[in-house]
């Protein structure tokens, strides 16, 4: 009965989307005007409540909206389905603001996010608080109708482009480290925020250091309750891991097995004369199967998140995707043989394989490293005991820690 009801809802939604597109879609429309129509009609984020630019439909049905928009070549539909579009702004920040933000903040940010007018970044990791994120020392102190923030963040993706950042900062040093943290939305384009690029081995600079010196945050930019930021963060991380665990999604076309932006492993095996090699064929089949299972796992985790809970299945998908990305790049290099050692525009296949190999480490580190995901899976899925922690119930000011790096005159940690 449940399957029939779900199918009935899916069919009804598909018919509604098609009817709306038939009435409104015109390729000659200004892209900005079209995007506004889509957002205001609730098709950009159909799983969100109607009061906040959605249609209140089941999140599992958002993919139908995306499919129907893609069928006619119309952009912007079903962005809240798992896709590469607006991964930070929409999937992570948008969903977290929707769940924990005050109405004033939702009115300020949600529509511009859906319109693609705002870029976001994640201000989580610090030089002394990466894998142990709860050891963060960036501090936020109340000053009238604002919060004043001092500290340093690192590995901030797209921080140089961001209009806002979702920030975790310590607001009570007398509570244990997991309970004295608050979660904020920080305006990035202000005096007191300095962004410095970190050069990667690919030559790009997607990541940044961010120095905060008396940066200001409006009081209503606090998400959730004061000192309850760790709970908010878990929701945000679940969304991030869900995106990273399905970044390439299941293989839609069984004739393709993509690695990187331009390279396809099936096609590469044929071009290099290795498509009949049983070892290569087994590797291709294994990667294809893993990609399919990851897609199903993402749907499972997404269904759990739609019910208002985070699922360790997101960690499972993220960990599996890390392995797939590394193994896909390695297989591409193996198929190319000695030519796979080349790096430059004159050898586009080798360049793509090598860049993909290096970029795979982003998935292994961002959103919690592979090692962190294994801890989560061992504790929350397998039920194994947690590692002993001597600082769990100790006021954070009494926990031994590395000295906080002072950001341009900012007050040192107490």
**Do the beta carbons of residue 153 and residue 124 sit within 8 Å?**
yes
Taking alpha carbons only, the member of 326, 320, 319 closest to residue 289 is 320
Is residue 240 annotated as a catalytic residue, yes or no?
yes
Taking alpha carbons only, the member of 321, 318, 332, 414 closest to residue 372 is 318
Query: Which of 89, 240, 352, 379 does the annotation list as catalytic?
Result: 240
d(CA 219, CA 189): 17
**Please, where are the H alpha helices in 171-312?**
229-244, 265-271, 278-306
d(CA 303, CA 242): 11
Residue 40 structure tokens:
């205001």
Give the 3-state DSSP-derived string for 11-70, with helices as H, strands as E and coil as C.
HHHHHHHHHHHHHHCCCCCCHHHHHHHHHHHCCCCCCCCHHHCCCCCCHHHHHHHHHHHH
d(CA 251, CA 292): 6
Q: Which residues are designated catalytic?
A: 240
């Amino acid at each position: 009965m449940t399957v029939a009801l779900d199918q009935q809802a899916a069919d009804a939604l598909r018919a509604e989307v098609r009817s709306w597109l038939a009435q409104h879609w015109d390729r000659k429309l200004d892209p900005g005007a079209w995007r506004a129509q889509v957002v205001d009609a609730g098709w950009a984020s159909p799983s969100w409540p109607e009061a906040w630019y959605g249609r209140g439909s089941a999140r599992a049905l958002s993919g139908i909206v995306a499919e129907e928009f893609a069928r006619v070549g119309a952009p912007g539909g079903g962005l809240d389905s798992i896709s590469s579009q607006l991964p930070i702004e929409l999937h992570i920040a948008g969903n977290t603001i929707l769940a924990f933000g005050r109405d004033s903040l939702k009115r300020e940010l949600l529509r511009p996010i859906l319109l693609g007018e705002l870029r976001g970044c994640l201000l989580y990791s610090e030089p002394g608080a990466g894998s142990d994120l709860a050891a963060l020392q960036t501090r936020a102190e109340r000053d009238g109708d604002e919060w004043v923030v001092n500290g340093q963040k690192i590995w901030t993706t797209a921080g140089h482009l961001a209009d806002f950042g979702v920030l975790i900062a310590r607001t009570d040093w007398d509570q244990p480290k997991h309970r004295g943290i608050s979660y904020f939305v920080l305006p990035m384009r202000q005096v007191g925020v300095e962004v410095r690029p970190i050069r990667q081995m690919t030559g790009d600079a997607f990541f940044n250091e961010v120095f905060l010196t008396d940066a200001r945050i409006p009081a209503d930019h606090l998400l959730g309750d004061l000192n309850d930021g760790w709970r908010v963060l878990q929701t945000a991380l679940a969304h991030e891991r869900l995106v990273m665990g399905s970044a390439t999604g299941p293989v839609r076309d069984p004739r393709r097995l993509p690695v990187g932006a331009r390279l396809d492993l099936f096609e590469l095996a044929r071009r290099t004369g290795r498509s009949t090699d049983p070892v290569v064929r087994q590797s291709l089949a294994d990667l294809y199967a893993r990609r399919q299972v990851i897609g199903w796992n993402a749907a499972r985790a997404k269904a759990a998140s739609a019910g208002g809970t985070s699922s360790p299945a997101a960690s499972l998908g993220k960990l599996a995707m890390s392995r797939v990305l590394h193994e896909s790049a390695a297989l591409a290099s193996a198929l190319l043989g000695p030519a796979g050692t080349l790096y430059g525009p004159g050898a586009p296949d080798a360049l793509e394989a090598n860049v993909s190999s290096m970029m795979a480490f982003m998935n292994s580190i961002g959103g919690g490293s592979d090692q962190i995901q294994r801890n989560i899976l061992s504790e929350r899925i397998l039920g194994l005991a947690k590692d002993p922690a001597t600082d769990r119930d100790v006021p954070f000011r009494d926990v031994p820690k590395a000295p906080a790096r002072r950001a341009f005159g900012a007050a040192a940690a107490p």
